[in-house]
Amino acid sequence: MRHMYERCVDSRVGPLSLAGWNLVSELRIALVTVTSRHTFQRLRGRKHLRVHLGCGDDIREGWVNIDLNLSKRTCRSKLEQSGTALINHDLRLGLPLEPSSCDFIYSSHLIEHLEPRAGVRLMGECFNALCPQGTFRVVLPDYKTILKAYLKNDIEYFKILDSTSAIPELHPGTKTLIDQVNYAVYQYGEHRYIYDEEKLVVTLRNLGFKNTFVSEFRNGIDHPSPLRRKYSLYVEAVK
């Protein structure tokens, strides 16, 4: 699944080159987001929306699918599906949906990619967009379990992560267990903030959600890959 931030460039790139790359990236993002306004306007007046934030290639039929990097090929293949909307949008700028227009909002491995203020603002706008009794489901890396496994030196726990992810090494032959933790926490510098279950639940309650609780994997809703299922924390909040 792709997120709103692209993987960091090689660390050997100089600071000026990196600054230029970041500027070009932000200009492209701004251009994409301008065009998204028209798509959001077409949703005005619609109710009972199901919204997928940071969807990547996981396009869901009948849902409003939002991501910064929706490919043209993906859009062409999905636009004909009845009731399906695809929106290229920078979610750091919020969620411009009408109040009480959504029944269900889903976010998987997105919130940790946002600076904390932007993340809280987005979650607050999800609250506003939900109808009464609407549900916001958030999936994040399960940092607490990951850190517990590290402290126990539980090599077996990290086997799936080690076999499916390109864990970086500072020098060849120097990879140790802490590199698994570095990848989970920082992910090439893409992750901006850590939430555990307590922090997320407290934050959502502070935003106004009445019933907020740690959930389990939900078949048909959550990403079915063994990697996601093993290393994810699931939280639901009901307005």
Burial of 52 (0-12, 13-18, 19+ CB in 10 A): buried
Amino acid, single-letter form, for residue 180 = Q
What are the pLDDT tens digits along the chain (239 aa)?
Answer: 333 333 443 444 455 544 443 444 545 555 555 567 778 888 999 999 999 999 988 989 899 999 987 765 555 555 555 678 889 898 998 999 999 999 999 999 999 999 999 999 999 999 999 999 999 999 999 999 999 999 999 999 999 988 877 777 778 888 899 999 999 999 888 999 999 999 999 999 999 999 999 999 999 999 999 999 999 999 999 99
Domain boundaries, the chain: 15-140+197-223+231-238
Q: What is the spatial order of strands in the sheet that 232-238 belongs to? A: 85-88, 64-67, 49-53, 102-108, 130-141, 232-238, 211-215
User: 222: closest CA among 106, 113, 104?
Assistant: 106
Retrieve residue 179's tokens.
């590199």
CATH label, 15-140+197-223+231-238, candidates 3.30.70.20, 3.30.559.10, 3.40.50.150, 3.40.50.300? 3.40.50.150
Tell me the C-alpha distance between 195 and 139, whole Å: 11
